[in-house]
A and B are shown apart, each in its own frame.
Chain A
Amino acid sequence: MEDEAFTDISGKPITLDCQNHSSFCREFTVSSPKVSIGKVMVYTCAVWLFAYAVFFFTQITAVLSGAILITLVGMMFHIHFVKVDHESLLVIGSLGIQVSSSYASGREITTFIEMSKIKDIIINEAIYMHQIIYYLCVLLKDPSEPNAVSSVVPLFQSSKPRLNCLVKVYKSCQEILSKSQ
C-alpha cells in the first residue's frame, strides 16, 4: 500500500493509491481533491448577491427564496452527479477488470469487464479542448473478429491524471495481464 502525489492535466494535485491484494490482484485508486470551501462560498455569494440586486430593484421576495433553492439544488446536483471523489481500477488476473467511480455523495457507478472480452490496456492520446492529453483505456475484443477492436473504454475519465501516473498504472496492469494470458 502506497500513496503517491501526482498532478492531473490542469495541474491540480491528485493521489494515486496502489493496493496489492495478491500477486494477480491489484487496485488503483485515483482521488481528486475535495471541493474547496472557498469555491462554494464564492458561488453561493455570487448567486445570493445577484438575487439581492434583483430584489432591490424589483421588490419581489420570491427571487430571494428562489436563489436559496437554486443554491441548494445546485449543490446537491453537483455532489451527486458532477463531482467525482475517487475513481478506482481493480485488476484481477484471469477474471477481469472492474472500473468504478464514486461521487462525492457516495453514489457509485461500477462496470466489470470480463477477461475474455479484453484485448489489451493501452495509453492513448486524445485532443481535449486545446491540448493533447494522454489517457489510459481498455480495448475490447470484437466477438466476431478476434483481432479487431470493437470499442474503447477510457479509464480515469474525470480525474485525468498526467502521463507519469498513467505509466505507473499501465506497467503494473500489464504485469498482471501478461501473467494471465
Chain B
Amino acid sequence: MVLKVFFPQCCNRADSGLLVGRWITGHDSAVVLAVIHYPFIPGQVKRYIQQMQAQSGVELSVLGSWSLPKEGQEGMESFLRDLSTIFPQERWLQISREIGKTGFICEIMSQNGKKVQQEAKNKSVEEEKDTGLGDGEKEDEEKVIFVHYEQRKVMLSQLHPTETGDHDPKSEPPSELRQMFQTVAQSKPLFFLDKYDDGPLKSTHWQSEGREASIIVELLKQATVPLCLLVTWLLSIWTWICNIKIFSFWPLHFLSSKLSTCVQLSYRTEHMRILSSPKPAVGHTQFMRKANILVSFLVDVALGILLMSWLYRDNHVSVLANTLVPVADHVAKELEELLQWLMGAPAGLKMNRALDQVLGRFFLYHIHLWISYIHLMSPFIEGILWYGGLSACLGLTFALSLLSDMVALLTFHIYCFYVYGARLYCLKIYGLSSLWRLFRGKKWNVLRQRVDSCSYDLDQLFIGTLLFTILLFLLPTTALYYLVFTLLRLVVVLFQGILHLSVDFINSFPLFALGLRICRPYRLAEGVKFSVLCEEPGTALHLLMEINPLKGSTVVQTYRTPTYSCYPRDSWAALIKKLFVGELIYPWRHKTTKTD
C-alpha cells in the first residue's frame, strides 16, 4: 500500500518540529496542516491541539516529526524519534530533509510491535549513516507519495459538484480529495496563530498577509444589519399592499400576471426578500446565490441609472415622444397600404372579391379607430415617457419591461387583427375538417373520442358538401389575411421576446461567480491536477497538486439564478403546428401549458 502525505508548500522550509494534521480514515493518507517548532512543552502542544480540535471539529493529531537540520543542531534525530513515545499514535511519520537536497526522506513507525520496528529502524538508520544513502530497505515495503499543496488556495476553494446539505451517513463516505479539501477548509482556526506572536508555541502554516482592510469589512458588516432591517420593513409594507383584496379580483389579477413590469416586480421582491433575510447564508450554494443576486441587482441599478442620465439629459424624452407619434402614424399608413394591396389582387392571386372587400373594410375601420386613439393620446405621451423613465432608477430590467408593455399596448391593433384573422382561419379549418369527415361518411364520436362511420341522409350530405365547397373556395382569402397578420404579429412577438430575454439575462446571469472564476480561479475548483516535481534518487515521489478551475460554461450553468426562462419552452414544431392550425400565440407562457 502506498501512503500519501499531503504536505503544504509553506512548510517546505520550516524549522524542525512536530507535524500537526489529520489521518484520513480508510484512505491511507495523511494531511499535514502545520509544523509546531522546537522547543515546546508536550503538555501545551496536547492542550493546544485539543483546543483546536474543539474549535474546528477536525480530528487533529500529531502525525510525526519534521526535521530540517541546521548548523549546530546535531543529535536532533534521536530526540525527535523519542517524541513518538510522548505522542502515542498508530503510525508515526518521520520526515526529514537535508540541506542541499530538494527531496524529503520519510520513515514510518507503527505502534504495534514498536520495539521491533524501532530496532529495525535504528539499524536502517545506521546503515544509512554508513552508506550515506537516504533510502533503506524500509522504503520498498511501504512507499510514500508527497503531494505538495498550496494551503491558502485549497482552504478557499470549493470542490464541484458541491455537496448538498449534510452528508448522509448511510451512503459511502466522500472521496479522498473531498475529505482532504474539507479538512483544510475546516481547520481555519489553526491558521490564526501568528508567526510573530509571543506565545508558548510557534508554528509554520499559511497565514494571512495582513488584515488592514478587515476594519472596513467589519464596518460594512455592521452597517448591513440596519439596512437589512429597513429593507425587510419596506418589503413587509409592499407585500401588505399587494395582498389587499382589490388586487386579487379578476381583471386586475389577470392584468398583473400578463404585464411584464408586474412580473419583474414580483421577481425583484422575491430577490430582495432573499437578500434581506437576517440569517447569514449557510453553505456555499446559498452564499453564491445571494452574492449573485446582489451583484446582478447592483449592475442592474447601475445600468438603469446610466439610462436615466442619458434620458433626462438634453431633453431626450421629448425628442423620443415627438418621434413616437409620427412613427405610429407611419405604421398605420403602411398598414393601410397593405390592406389596399390585399383588397386588390395581391401577388396576382384572384381572391373572392366580396369577402375580400368585407374583410379589408373591417380592418381599415379598425386602423382608423386606432389612429384617432393615438392622436387623442399624443399630448400625454411625453408625460408617460417622463414618468416611465423614472422606473429606470429601480433598474434597467424595469425600464425594459415597461418598454415591452408599452410596445404591447401600442401594437394592440396588430394583435387585434391577428386575433380576428386567426379566429376566422381556425373556424374555417375546423369546419372543413368536420365536413371532410361528412364527405367520407364518417363523424367524430365525442363520447368515445374517435371517428366512427355513420350513414347520413341525402339532404345532410347535400348541404354538407355544398358548405364544404363554399368553405374550401373561401379559404384562400382568409388564409392570406391570416398569413399577413400573423407575420406582423410575429415581428412584434420577436421584439418582445428579445426584450424579455435581455431582462431575463440580467436577472439570472451569475456575474459574481463569473468574476470569481476570472479573478480567483482557484475558488471554484472542478478538481485537481497533479504534476511530477523533480525527483532525486533515494527520496520519495513528489507531486505538486494544483487546482483545476471550473469551466466558464459550467459556472454559468451551475450558478444561474432560476427564472421563468429556465423552464422548458415550447418547441419550434409545436409553435409551427399552432400557427398552422390557427391557435393564438403569446410572448408569455400560459399557466395551462406549463403544467402539460
Asked whether A and B interact, the reply is yes
Segment of B489-497, B524-532, B587-595 in the binding face: B524-532
Q: Which residue of chain A is the closest to B545 with respect to CB atoms?
A: A112
**Contact status A98-B530, CB under 8 Å:** yes
B2 close to A (CB within 8 Å): yes
Q: A94-B4, A143-B172 are in contact. Are A25 and B541 (CB under 8 A)?
A: yes
CA distance A112 to B172 in the complex (A): 20
**Contact status B175-A117, CB under 8 Å:** yes
Chain A residues with Cβ below 8 Å from B177 are 114
- From 24 to 51 in chain A, residues with beta carbon under 8 angstroms from any chain B beta carbon are 24-25, 27
Of the candidates A22, A110, A112, the one whose C-beta lies within 8 Å of that of B541 is A22
**Contact status A24-B530, CB under 8 Å:** no
**Contact status B175-A114, CB under 8 Å:** yes
Chain A residues with Cβ below 8 Å from B528 are 112
Chain A residues with Cβ below 8 Å from B27 are 116
State how many angstroms separate the Cβ of B27 from the closest Cβ of chain A: 8
**Contact status A112-B529, CB under 8 Å:** yes
Chain B residues with Cβ below 8 Å from A171 are none
**Contact status B2-A114, CB under 8 Å:** no
Proximity string of chain A (74-85) to chain B, C-beta cutoff 8 Å, 1 when within and 0 when not? 000000000000
CA distance A129 to B1 in the complex (A): 43
User: Which residue of A90, A100, A116, A117 has the most chain B CB atoms within 10 A of its CB atom?
Assistant: A116
State how many angstroms separate the Cβ of A137 from the closest Cβ of chain B: 19
**Contact status A114-B535, CB under 8 Å:** no
Q: A21-B532, A23-B143, A95-B4 are in contact. Are A112 and B175 (CB under 8 A)?
A: no
Chain A residues with Cβ below 8 Å from B288 are none
CA distance A122 to B422 in the complex (A): 61
Q: Which residue of chain B is the closest to A143 with respect to CB atoms?
A: B172
Q: A21-B541, A92-B145 are in contact. Are A116 and B529 (CB under 8 A)?
A: no
CA distance A94 to B4 in the complex (A): 9
Number of interface residues of B (CB under 8 A): 22
- From 533 to 551 in chain B, residues with beta carbon under 8 angstroms from any chain A beta carbon are 535, 541, 543, 548
Q: Which residue of chain A is the closest to B543 with respect to CB atoms?
A: A92
If over half of B's interface residues share one DSSP class (helix, strand or loop), that class is named, otherwise mixed; here it is strand
Q: Which residue of chain B is the closest to A19 with respect to CB atoms?
A: B532
**How many pairs of A and B residues are in contact by the CB < 8 Å rule?**
55
**Contact status B143-A112, CB under 8 Å:** no
Number of interface residues of A (CB under 8 A): 21
**Contact status A25-B532, CB under 8 Å:** yes
- From 109 to 149 in chain A, residues with beta carbon under 8 angstroms from any chain B beta carbon are 110-112, 114, 116-117, 143
B337 close to A (CB within 8 Å): no
Proximity string of chain B (259-299) to chain A, C-beta cutoff 8 Å, 1 when within and 0 when not? 00000000000000000000000000000000000000000
Q: A100-B529, A116-B176 are in contact. Are A110 and B4 (CB under 8 A)?
A: no
CA distance A24 to B540 in the complex (A): 11
Q: A22-B535, A27-B532, A112-B527 are in contact. Are A180 and B541 (CB under 8 A)?
A: no
B28 close to A (CB within 8 Å): yes
User: Which residue of A22, A93, A143 has the most chain B CB atoms within 10 A of its CB atom?
Assistant: A22
CA distance A98 to B543 in the complex (A): 12
Chain B residues with Cβ below 8 Å from A90 are 530, 532
Q: Which residue of chain A is the closest to B27 with respect to CB atoms?
A: A116
Chain B residues with Cβ below 8 Å from A117 are 175
Chain A residues with Cβ below 8 Å from B176 are 114, 116
- From 128 to 183 in chain B, residues with beta carbon under 8 angstroms from any chain A beta carbon are 143, 145, 147, 171-172, 175-177
**Contact status B28-A94, CB under 8 Å:** yes
Q: A23-B143, A24-B143, A114-B176 are in contact. Are A98 and B541 (CB under 8 A)?
A: no
CA distance A93 to B541 in the complex (A): 11
- From 170 to 207 in chain B, residues with beta carbon under 8 angstroms from any chain A beta carbon are 171-172, 175-177
CA distance A180 to B143 in the complex (A): 11
Chain B residues with Cβ below 8 Å from A112 are 527-530, 548
Chain A residues with Cβ below 8 Å from B175 are 114, 116-117
**Contact status B530-A92, CB under 8 Å:** yes
Q: Which residue of chain B is the closest to A27 with respect to CB atoms?
A: B532
CA distance A21 to B171 in the complex (A): 36
**Contact status B2-A93, CB under 8 Å:** yes
CA distance A25 to B544 in the complex (A): 13
Chain B residues with Cβ below 8 Å from A21 are 532, 535, 541
Q: Can you name 14 extra interface pairs (CB under 8 A) apart from A94-B1, A111-B548, A114-B175?
A: A25-B541, A90-B530, A90-B532, A92-B145, A92-B543, A95-B147, A98-B529, A110-B529, A112-B548, A116-B27, A116-B175, A116-B176, A143-B171, A143-B172
Can you spell out 5 A-B residue pairs with CB atoms less than 8 angstroms apart?
A24-B541, A92-B145, A95-B543, A112-B530, A143-B172
**Which of B's residues lie within 8 Å of A, judged by CB?**
1-2, 4, 27-28, 143, 145, 147, 171-172, 175-177, 527-530, 532, 535, 541, 543, 548
3 closest cross-chain pairs (CB), A and B: A110-B529, A94-B2, A22-B541
